[in-house]
Structure 1
Amino acid sequence: MKKLNLLWLLWALAMTSFAQARLPKVVLKSIEGRSVQTDTLQNGGRPMVVAFFATWCKPCNRELKAIDEVYADWQKETGVRLVAVSIDQAQNANKVKPLVDENGWTYDVLLDTNGELKRALGIQMIPYTLVVDGQGRIVYRHNGYTDGAETELYEKVREACGH
């Protein structure tokens, strides 16, 4: 019986720590060159989507383009904020802003040129997308992109809003 109670306690702690996962403290640069501390990213009590991408990643760019087509509607309904995090290495970071400008993306774009945030979150492959609720908890993680996956992502954003 004691073994069962210990297993229950360990499981409960594991679930609590997963449910309470937050963005780690890493300092990144925006594409405008200002420093941004990731653990302070927030959206005034509304959810955020954090999408990891690279300029050379075709599925990443398809995902960000697909979200861009519906982003204004998402913002109207949920107030969601999208933060796109480029994992391009320093020598390719100069390609990020032209890609963002070419696509007309209005997302906040951060540069993780050393892969520090990516490593801190245990991300192995991109595209990788997180939903952070209004209290700053990571409530959804998704790896990869297939056409139409933004529909499921939006449902997770709505859930994070309590819809």
Structure 2
Amino acid sequence: MRKWIPLLLIIFALGYSIFKYVEKKQEAEKANTTYASTLSKMGLQEGDQAPNLDLLTLNGEKVKIPLSGNKPTVLNFWATWCPPCKEEIPVLEEFQKEHSDKVSVIGVADYIGEKKDKNFVKNFATKHGITYQVLLDEKGENFSKYGVLTIPTTYFIDQNGKIIYKKLGPLEKKDFDLLLK
């Protein structure tokens, strides 16, 4: 009987370790879900009126873009250094090519994080085959107006300037179904 006591203690310790590991993993998942939920509730939300944009073109010209009275707009906040932003470029590009007559696609680049180098962003856009409109947020004011805390963040805006969808993270083809209804 005494021979079994060390084995039972080892089995008990192993079981307890596994239990604690699973418990810790579940807590981490809950924290991540809470964090994502909190982020999604910050900034502009579905139903809000989209503020007009004050941006720079890749040629350095200042432009003001009203988001009402036009066709619907996909407004994508991104940066060249962001891997998920790079992942969604083909999805945005394909959508732009298929629906440019009905919907505007605007990519708003994080100019502050791009070392204030228009040519860097321009070369990035060319290298990645981006044909949709890419504009620069010179001072981060548009990121602030929209409450963008994580990138990519994308807003679908109807022709009246109302936000109808907000997506944190990279877009997928299925996300565009809502805009095309």
TM-score, structure 1 normalization: 0.73
Residues in 2 aligned to 1:18 and 1:141: alpha-carbon distance in whole angstroms:
7
**Residue 34 (1) aligns with residue 61 (2):** yes
Q: Which runs of 4+ in 1 moved over 3 A?
A: 17-20, 41-44
User: In the alignment, which of 111, 125, 130 is matched to residue 100 of structure 1?
Assistant: 125
**Structure 1 residue 125, shift from structure 2 partner:** 0.2
Give the aligned partner of residue 176 of structure 2.
154
Letter in 2 for 1:86: A
Match of 1:65 among 84, 90, 97: 90
SS for the counterpart of 2:106 is: strand
> 2: distance between equivalents of 1:99 and 1:71?
18
Structure 1, gaps ≥5 residues long: 1-16
- RMSD (CA atoms): 2.2
* Matched residue count: 136
Contact 2:52 2:67 in 1 (8 A): no
Query: For each residue in 1:77-98, what CA deviation from the matched residue of structure 2 results, as whole angstroms up to 9, or x when unmatched?
Result: xx11100000131624332100
Shift of 1:61: 1.4
**Which secondary structure state, in structure 2, belongs to the residue aligned with residue 68 of structure 1?**
helix
1:113 aligns with 2:108: no
Q: 1: distance between equivalents of 2:116 and 2:76?
A: 18
Task: From the CA coordinates, give the structure whose radius of gyration is larger.
Answer: 2
Residue 103 of structure 2 corresponds to 80
Q: Deviations over 1:60-111 (max 9, x none)?
A: 11112222134322335xx111000001316243321001111221111111
Q: Structure 1 CA distance, aligned partners of 2:87 and 2:45?
A: 29
Shift of residue 55 of structure 1?
0.8
The offset of 1:52, in angstroms, is 0.6
1:17-41, Cα deviation, whole Å (9 max, x unpaired): 9665223245211112221224x14
Q: Distance in 1 between matches of 2:96 and 2:45?
A: 28
For 2:151 and 2:45, the matched residues in 1 are separated by 21
Q: TM-score, normalised by structure 2?
A: 0.66
Are the aligned partners of 1:43 and 1:81 in contact in 2 as well (CA < 8 Å)?
no
Q: 2:109 & 2:58 partners in 1: Cα distance?
A: 10
Partner of 1:22: 49
Cα distance in 1 for partners of 2:46, 2:151 equals 22
Question: Compared with structure 1, are the counterparts of its residues 92 and 65 closer, same or farther at alpha carbon in structure 2 (3 Å cutoff)?
Answer: farther
Identity %: 29
